[in-house]
Amino acid sequence: MAADKDYIEQYRIQVQTRVWGDPYTRPRQRELEQLADQIEQRSGVRLSLSTLKRLWRDDVTQLPHPSTLNALVSVLDHATWADFKQATVRTPPRESTPATLQPTRRRATAWWWTAAASAALVTLLVLLQATNRTTDYPLTLPADIPFQADKTVTLGVPNTVQFRYDVSGIDADSFFIQQSWDPRDKEAIDPAGHYRSSVYYLPGFHRAKLIVNDSIVRKVRIHIKTDGWLPLAEYTDNSHEPFYLDKLIPASTGDLHITEAQLAAAGVDLSKRYQLRYYNIRDFDHIRSDSFTLQARVKLDSIQHIPCPKAHVTIVTEEDIFYLQLTTPGCVGDLYLGMGETRLRGQEHDLSALGCNLYDWQTFQIKNQGKHVAILLNHHPVYTLSYKKDFGRIVGIVFNFSNPGAIDDVSLRNGEGNVVYETAF
């Protein structure tokens, strides 16, 4: 059997041929970024740009971690690295480009395809003549990897989180801390150091990760709470820190309502796309996420240039988020609904019952009894679904609007029907 470093070369040729239509020219950085996106879509694993750059060097001496190898070959329609090796020995690379992998360069000519097939055949002969040995380089980790996080502020945002870590006993070439679920929040850290701080601008129940190469080796939970309800606005392109709007809340208005005029007064550029959010992140008396009832009223202000207004409620749990979206009847194809691990899209499931006139008050209920969920709109059942996993306690509620709008009569009950939280503003 050929050495794994030879399979790396064959992997590069197949990817260059199938994804970019050019087996000879090394990919540029932008193309590697696009490859990382395609790998994430196929495997659910986000590989770093540095990992892909190392893979395309001529002096590859250390094989990536097995989980990384499995993710890499997903774009070649293989489930595991072992499957890729077996298929590579049996047959040369296919010459057709799958429809789901769009070339990022010019379309290859017939000459290129002939050259690609020839190169693949030569490589295959080399593989068949190579020595019968394999070389895996698994990531060796100590039994204990110190990793902790401490907030500098008990309540509210911005909030600096101080990370302390020790990776001095790990032999690897890249180390990161990822602040949350979003891979864009990943920062490189000094393996010889022990301290890194990050400013969190949004409240929530974050799950920070210590990442070595492409493996998550430790996680820590960070509960950044609010003092009651915190309204804020944020541009959808993340080009600016959030606008905190809590100073704009009147003493008593009967509901919680941020208007377009208030957003403009706070400095929000209304010509840009933005989201208005209402956060309440706290411990809800240890209420479990598998049996509860959340009820609220929502209403958006009418803005003519928003074709598909949306109201989105997120229930933050210890392990993930549940979410419900409402929109106008003509836009239900863009809706998302997620309870537990059950995730539905309006493009693939009929969510038309969640269409309504958001410019009038709409009352919704999410009734969860033992992981069986019923959704009611204006007290009429409109959708049911179930899930299986345990997601722990409820630790936050977030409303997300595409327009200025209001919330009212928010209440949360436990599985026995007892009110554990309510507000009438």
Let me know: does 201 contact 53? Beta carbons within 8 Å: no
What are 209-221's pLDDT values in tens digits? 999 988 899 999 9
Evaluate if pTM is beyond 0.75: no
CA distance 136 to 139: 10
Catalogue all structural domains in the chain, each as residue range(s) with its CATH number: 4-129 (no CATH), 147-224 (2.60.40), 230-423 (2.60.120.200)
End-to-end C-alpha distance for the chain, whole angstroms: 71
Q: Is 276 exposed, middle or buried (0-12, 13-18, 19+ CB in 10 A)?
A: buried
Contacts of 269 (CB under 8 A, 6+ apart): 235
Residues of the chain with pLDDT under 50: 1, 91-119, 121-136
Let me know: does 388 contact 399? Beta carbons within 8 Å: no
**DSSP letter for each residue of 196-228:** EEEEE-S-EEEEEEEEETTEEEEEEEEEEB-SS
- Please state whether beta strands 394-401 and 310-317 pair in parallel, antiparallel, or not at all (unpaired): antiparallel
What are 315-340's pLDDT values in tens digits? 999 999 999 999 999 999 999 999 99
Q: State the pLDDT at residue 215.
A: 87
Q: State the pLDDT at residue 137.
A: 52
